[in-house]
Amino acid sequence: MGRGPDHITDPVDPVPVVNIANALTVFRIVLVPVFLAALFMESGESTVWRTVATVVFAVAALTDRYDGRIARRRGLITDFGKMADPIADKALIGGALVGLSILGILPWWVTAVIIARELWVTALRFWVLRHKVIPASRGGKLKTLLQAVAIGLYLAPLGGGWQIAAGILMGLAVIVTIYTGLDYTWQAVKVRSGGSATDAPDPAPAPQTRRAVGGTGAGR
């Protein structure tokens, strides 16, 4: 007797690492040196090059919005994506912060606080990697958004109230950055001590259909 249309016993195809979502993440990493080169052209005093740097930064930041969305909608979530996505964010944001501080636009203490937090969280990710991959939280996404918008305003050759707005947003970004760093530390300690992170652990594998695979997915 032939099997029904659901094919419940069919094996689930593994998600390939080489996919459009991961390609966007890698593309964001590649754009980092391009952005920095434009930022430092003519000692950062050229309106044209500052505009170019702003556009490149904006394009790179937009890939962060869409790579995760594509991964979730198309079922392309991989451990590589979960790890590479925040690393790409850190390379882009960290490079921008250092560049702005070198040019004297952003105080060094702001850059130091944010980068120290990012390095600490990256170390924690590797610390718990063998136990569980902790994906970016909503707080982490808000932190990245605040940082990106503030940096964009600092980069753009604008003056007056725009720079005040950039300072306010960056202040909020620093607060959220510190808070999410403490929260991630707590989750990592719970994972290593045998507990579970805020995100519930994945349930035991159950028979799935090929159709079901495309309809599920967690955040990257």
36-80 per-position pLDDT tens digit: 999 999 988 899 999 999 999 999 999 887 877 787 787 778 877
pTM: 0.73
78-130 per-position pLDDT tens digit: 877 877 887 888 899 999 999 999 999 999 999 999 999 988 988 888 888 77
Looking at the chain, how many residues does it have? Answer: 220
pLDDT for position 13: 54
pLDDT for position 194: 76
How far is 82 from 84, CA to CA, in rounded Å? 6
Name residue 134's amino acid: I
**What CATH number should be reported for the domain whose range is 20-198+206-213?**
1.20.120
- Residue 153 parent element (H or E): helix 138-155
Backbone angles phi, psi at 26, to 5 degrees: -65, -40
Residue 34 in 3-state DSSP?
helix
134-143 per-position pLDDT tens digit: 666 788 889 8
Mean pLDDT on 194-205: 51
Name residue 149's amino acid: V
